[in-house]
């Protein structure tokens, strides 16, 4: 059980990547979460949010003023380092490679979205297996459910925002109904959860 | 889900049977493309997928074409085109002759956008646009200058955001859901297949655009291709990449200065 795994400091796979996906209403969660996470983080935090197609959008700026963690909008082949927040750029799907770099892909939209949360979740599951945690936030789209399934299958941990606390419940609810979600959390619980992951890694 | 070793097997088959070398493409993206084809064509097993690829030449062709991504649009990233208009083209205007290479031009939207910029700058008559791609089918489509009508409102908006102030629809004639761009725009275009993996430099250029192609290559292949571009660029010429592609990891960066914040570099060394 993932639940047990998180509690045991004996778990031998460190968490490499925490991937957060969200759509409408997800900034209401991301901003408070990022502002209180305690650096240094022992994993990379990868953020995929649906947004308007404007390159160099103020989203990266918006996130970076809220957090002391370094925030980077990903360029192709950037190295994924622990401790950083990586933001999927507008109009590209974000994937991870086995050598620990990111790659980008401008192929067809998935679930009407580019970046699509499913693409990053699936790719992270493929590369990091049980070392991935997928978190799906508020949104009016079915994106992310498939990806959470892939993470679950690979042995990672899957989390959905408590739909009652989401501005738009549809997206996390889809995941809860259709994917095996390990945890359903509200914002304070989510913050606590991510800090716990960090402590679990540090205890390894 | 296809396994890593199975991807390698397929890529070797394609190289052997078709002569295209995808072994230095970004794996994560290739894997997605292959999985998508596997699912869409309903192969019960990898062995059957591979058998079809190896034994059916028609299928192999389609498979190879579906591996690459051809998504494109006109005036994609308007601020990029605005920078071409305001900072790049004026420095080329004094040249007797302007040579431009669109490497990985897909169905030609980028080339037609460039021709429009050149025409508005009064430079098209002395320009030559070499448009190349790996895939002969997209080139065939580009050569016709015919595009779907549906995205035209968005292209028109992009065009305006790039600093264009004419009525965009004057550049084409619409007919049954399609538009055909004016022949004078296409008059200075030369279309040809060119594989960035295996073909060499074929001219010297004042501007090379290779946008959203390098993202599909691994770092080693990116470096080889950037060297090919470096060899094909004269002094004070320009290299333009896609909006999330950079020279920052390449040895050639030392010879270039970026026109920030756009992904356009000028050769200074
Ligand atoms: C995503 S499209 C980019 C189109 C356009 N440059 C743009 O940015 O909108 C990528 C193109 O690169 C081409 N391509 C992929 N591998 C190539 C290679 N080895 N040599 C030449 N072209 C290649 C594909 O066929 C495809 O048309």
**Predicted confidence (pLDDT) per residue in A103-126, tens digit:** 999 999 999 999 999 999 999 999
Strand order in the sheet with A44-49: A71-73, A85-87, A44-49, A17-22, A132-136, A157-161, A183-185
Inspect the interface and report whether the beta carbons of A97 and B28 lie closer than 8 Å.
Answer: yes
pLDDT of residue A2: 47
Place of tokens 């070797």: B12
Of the candidates B55, B64, B116, the residue with the CA atom closest to the CA atom of residue B89: B116
Angle at A154 between CA A151 and CA A156, to 5 degrees: 55
Ligand 1 center to B1 CA (angstroms): 25
Of the candidates B244, B209, B230, the residue with the CA atom closest to the CA atom of residue B113: B209
Ligand 1 center to B213 CA (angstroms): 5
Which SS3 state, helix, strand or coil, does residue A150 take?
helix
Which residues have C-beta within 8 Å of that of residue B97, sequence separation ≥ 6?
Answer: B126, B127, B128
pTM for the full model? 0.95
Task: Compute the Cα dihedral for B77, B79, B81, B84 and give only its sign.
Answer: negative
pLDDT of residue A179: 86
Q: Which of A55, A74, A98 sits opposite B27 (nearest CB)?
A: A98
Residue B219 sits at the chain A interface (C-beta within 8 Å): yes
Going by pLDDT thresholds of 50, 70 and 90, the confidence category of residue A6 is low
Q: How far apart are the first and last CA of chain B?
A: 47
CATH number of A2-203: 3.40.50.180
Which domains, and CATH codes, for chain B? 4-68 (no CATH), 78-267 (3.40.50.150)
Q: Are B264 and B253 in contact (CB under 8 A)?
A: no
The ipTM of this complex is 0.94
Best probe residue, ligand 1, of B19, B22, B63, B104 (max atoms within 8 Å of C-beta): B104
A128-154: burial string, b at 16+ Cβ within 10 Å, e else: bebbbbbbbbbbebbbbbbbbbbbbeb
Q: Is the beta carbon of B211 within 6 A of some atom in ligand 1?
A: yes
Cross-strand bridge partners of residue B192: B132
Nearest residue of A to residue B27, measured between CA atoms: A97
pLDDT of residue A176: 97
Q: Is the beta carbon of B94 within 6 A of some atom in ligand 1?
A: no
Ligand 1 center to B242 CA (angstroms): 11
Residue B28 sits at the chain A interface (C-beta within 8 Å): yes
Q: Is the beta carbon of B213 within 6 A of some atom in ligand 1?
A: yes
């Amino acid at each position: 059980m993932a639940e047990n795994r998180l509690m045991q400091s004996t778990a031998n796979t460190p968490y490499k990547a925490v991937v957060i996906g969200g759509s409408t209403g997800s900034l209401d969660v991301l901003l408070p979460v990022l502002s209180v996470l305690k650096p240094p983080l022992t994993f990379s935090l990868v953020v995929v949010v649906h947004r308007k197609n404007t390159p160099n959008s103020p989203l990266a700026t918006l996130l970076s003023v809220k957090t002391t963690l370094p925030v980077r909008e990903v360029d192709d082949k950037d190295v994924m380092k622990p401790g950083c927040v990586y933001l999927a750029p507008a109009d590209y799907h974000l994937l991870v490679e086995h050598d620990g770099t990111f790659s980008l892909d401008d192929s067809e939209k998935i679930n009407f979205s580019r970046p699509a949360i499913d693409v990053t979740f699936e790719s992270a599951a493929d590369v990091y297996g049980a070392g991935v945690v997928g978190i799906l936030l508020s949104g009016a789209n079915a994106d992310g459910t498939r990806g959470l399934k892939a993470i679950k299958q690979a042995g990672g941990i899957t989390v959905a925002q408590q739909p009652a606390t989401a501005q738009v419940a549809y997206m996390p609810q889809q995941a809860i109904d259709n994917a095996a979600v390990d945890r359903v959390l509200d914002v304070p619980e989510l913050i606590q959860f991510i800090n716990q992951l960090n402590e679990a890694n540090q205890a390894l | 889900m296809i396994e890593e070793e199975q991807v390698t097997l397929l890529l070797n088959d394609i190289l052997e049977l078709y002569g295209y070398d995808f072994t230095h493409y970004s794996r994560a993206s290739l894997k997605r493309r292959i999985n998508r084809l596997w699912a869409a064509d309903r192969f019960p097993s990898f062995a059957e997928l591979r058998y079809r690829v190896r034994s059916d030449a028609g299928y192999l062709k389609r498979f190879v074409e579906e591996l690459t991504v051809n998504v494109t649009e006109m005036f994609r990233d308007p601020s990029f085109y605005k920078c071409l208009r305001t900072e790049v083209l004026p420095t080329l205007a004094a040249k007797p002759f302007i040579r431009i290479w669109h490497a990985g031009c897909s169905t030609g939207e980028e080339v037609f956008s460039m021709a429009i910029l050149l025409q508005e700058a009064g430079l098209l008559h002395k320009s030559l646009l070499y448009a190349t791609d790996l895939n002969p089918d997209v080139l065939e489509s580009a050569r016709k200058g015919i595009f779907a009508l549906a995205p035209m409102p968005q292209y028109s908006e992009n065009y305006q955001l790039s600093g264009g102030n004419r009525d965009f629809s004057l550049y084409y004639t619409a007919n049954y859901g399609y538009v055909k761009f004016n022949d004078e725009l296409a008059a200075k275009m030369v279309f040809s297949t060119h594989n960035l993996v295996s073909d060499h430099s074929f001219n010297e250029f004042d501007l090379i655009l290779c946008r959203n192609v390098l993202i599909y290559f691994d770092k080693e292949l990116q470096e080889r291709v950037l060297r090919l571009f470096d060899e094909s660029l004269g002094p004070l010429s320009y290299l333009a990449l896609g909006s999330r592609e950079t020279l920052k990891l390449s040895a050639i960066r030392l010879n270039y200065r970026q026109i920030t914040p756009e992904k356009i570099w000028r050769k200074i060394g």
